[in-house]
Structure formats: structure tokens, C-alpha cells
Chains A and B, each alone.
Chain A
Amino acid sequence: MTTSRDLTRRAALTGAAASGAGLLVLRSTQPASATPEAMRAVMRAITGDAPVRKGRVQLDLPPLVENGNTVPMTVTVESPMTALDHVTAIHVLNEKNPQPYVVTVHLDHRAGKAAFSTRIKLGDTQRVVGLAKMSDGSFWIGEQDVIVTIASCLENF
């Protein structure tokens, strides 16, 4: 009686260990995700030695997202948008998708308004960063944290 219970317990343990290993293997085939460090490296590559100040960039994303496959996003940058003082590029970056890049737009004073809307994918609960380059070479940064309950890229339907 005890032996059979022992065996069952052992079998159960082995089974559990095997399935644990299986899970590990599955996890290791998931794409490597970008890290906050990778995102900061990309930011440095974009900005170089130019000063980066907080503000002026507003990211409009829902704070809680059910489905990371389609997340509406509006980015607005405060700027007079004159020939002398305007936004030349807006970069959107993230911390935890497989790649730190999301979207980059290039514009000039003829846009009249430095704002755009699009829909993005988010692979995890993370911080999304907007980085605006001004015509004088300076950079402004805005951030928004988003909680994602069902991530993009993970399920295959």
C-alpha cells in the first residue's frame, strides 16, 4: 500500500518535473524581449550628446489595456510649429516588446500641429516613451505606463 502510494507520488513528482522542464523549454523559445537598458541605449543612439528634458511630449494611451494587439495611441508635442521653432521628429519607444522601436514620424513646420494617432502592439505591462526632436536640436521626453492583461505576440490565433 505504502509502496504503491510512494510510486504514485514519485510518478507524480517526475511528471511535474518533466512538465516543468517542458515549460522551461517553451519559455526559452519565446523571443528575447527588449529591456529598459536596451531602450535607453536606443535613446542615446538617437539623441547623442544633446540634452533631453522632461515635458512637452504627451502620450495618450489607455492606462489599462485588455488586448495588447491593438492599443490606440495619440502623441502630442507642444510646439509653436513655426519655421524657426518646430518639431522635426517624434520617436516612440518601449521597454519590453521584442524590439525597443515602435514608430517614428518625421515632420516639419508645415504640419501645423505636432500630433499623430496610430495603433500599436504591446507585449507586456510596460512604460512607453515619446521622444521629440526639435528644430534647435534639443530633445523632450514624455512617458506613460500601460498595464497589459493579454499581451501581443504571445498567443497564436
Chain B
Amino acid sequence: MARALINVPKIAKVGEIIEIKTLVSHPMETGYRVGLGGEILPRDIIQTFVCTFNGAQIYRADFSPAVAANPYLTFHTMLSESGAFEFRWEGDNDFLLVETASITVE
């Protein structure tokens, strides 16, 4: 099953730019490859990644089959209050993975 690794600092200062690293295990099958029996392997990718903080969307990524297997994404954000991140990956075959992380901003 899919699993995600998320790296978020535990503490940040107000207005500090923090880096968030995410890695999710997923084959990202392109839909262009041919299997051993000569059949086209059906597409199975993560289509969107959304990061929300205290309920408001702060970052979104749209993936195509050209994103490598086990999608890795590092991005930045700046916070003014403590709270919780929600990371949500959605994709083909009803793929859905939601992870959370909290941060103290002082």
C-alpha cells in the first residue's frame, strides 16, 4: 500500500520560509509501456497533490505521467500562525492518500 514520507520542521518563526519535503510511494505507470504479454499497461498515476494549512489551500501540483515513480516534491511556505498541514494525493483507480503534520509558529 501507498505510504508517504513528509518532512516538516516542528518549529518555525513568523515569516520564516520553511521547506516541506514529501515523498509518496506510487508506481506512476505511464500508460505507454508494454507488458510482458504485449499488452499496454494501463495508466495508473497520481494526478494531483494538494497541501492545505488550517483548511486553506497553500500549494497544489498537477502531475503528468512524466513524473517519476514515487513522486517526490519539495516546496516552500511562510506561516504566521501555528496549525496543521494536510497533504492529499489523488489519482487514477480512486487513489487517495491523506497525511497530516503540525507545526508550532512563534
Interface residues of A (CB under 8 A from B): 29, 31, 69-71, 94, 97-99, 101-108, 110-113, 115-122, 153, 156
Let me know if B59 and A107 touch, CB within 8 A. yes
User: A115's closest neighbor in chain B, by CB?
Assistant: B76
Interface of chain A, main secondary structure:
mixed
CB-CB nearest in chain B for A102: B66
Give the tally of cross-chain contacts (CB within 8 A).
94
Per-position 1/0 for B23-40, Cβ under 8 A of A? 000000010111110000
Q: Given that A111-B77, A116-B74 are contacting pairs, would A104 and B61 also be in contact in the complex, using a CB cutoff of 8 Å?
A: yes
A69 adjacent to B73 (CB under 8 Å): no
> Which secondary structure dominates chain B's binding surface?
strand
State in angstroms the CA–CA spacing of A106 and B35 once bound together.
34
B32 touches A98 (CB 8 A): yes
Top 10 nearest A-B pairs by Cβ distance? A112-B78, A112-B17, A119-B68, A101-B64, A117-B74, A31-B32, A113-B76, A106-B60, A104-B62, A102-B66
Task: List chain A residues, Cβ under 8 A from B71.
Answer: 118-119
19 A-B pairs within 8 Å (CB atoms) are namely A69-B69, A70-B69, A71-B68, A101-B66, A102-B66, A103-B64, A105-B59, A106-B61, A110-B58, A110-B77, A111-B77, A112-B76, A112-B77, A117-B73, A118-B72, A119-B68, A119-B71, A121-B30, A121-B67
